Amino acid sequence: MDQLFVVRQILEKFYAHDIDLHLLFIDLKKVFGSINQKKLLELLASFGIPKKIEWLVKMTLEGAQGKVIVDGKVSNPFVISRGVRQGDGLSATLFNLILHKALKNLEQSNTILNRLTQIHGYANDILVIARSLPALEAVCAEINREAGRVGLVINPDKTKYVRFSASTS
Q: What digits encode the pLDDT tens for the residues 32-86?
A: 777 778 888 888 888 888 999 999 988 888 878 888 899 999 999 988 877 777 7
Mean pLDDT of the region 94-116: 72
The pTM of the full predicted model, rounded to 2 decimals, is 0.73
User: CA angle, corner 12, sides to 11 and 15, nearest 5?
Assistant: 85
**Are the C-beta atoms of 94 and 35 separated by less than 8 Å?**
yes
- Give the span between the Cα atoms of 42 and 8, in whole angstroms: 37
Instruction: Tell me the residue type at 61.
Output: L
Residue 168: band (very low, low, confident or very high) from pLDDT cuts 50, 70, 90? low
Ranges of beta strands (E only) in the chain are 21-27, 65-66, 69-70, 73-74, 78-79, 117-122, 125-130, 160-164
Mean pLDDT of the region 161-166: 86
Over 90: is that where the pLDDT of 8 sits?
no
C-beta atoms surrounding 51 within 10 Å: 9
Over 70: is that where the pLDDT of 124 sits?
yes
**Are the C-beta atoms of 85 and 66 separated by less than 8 Å?**
no
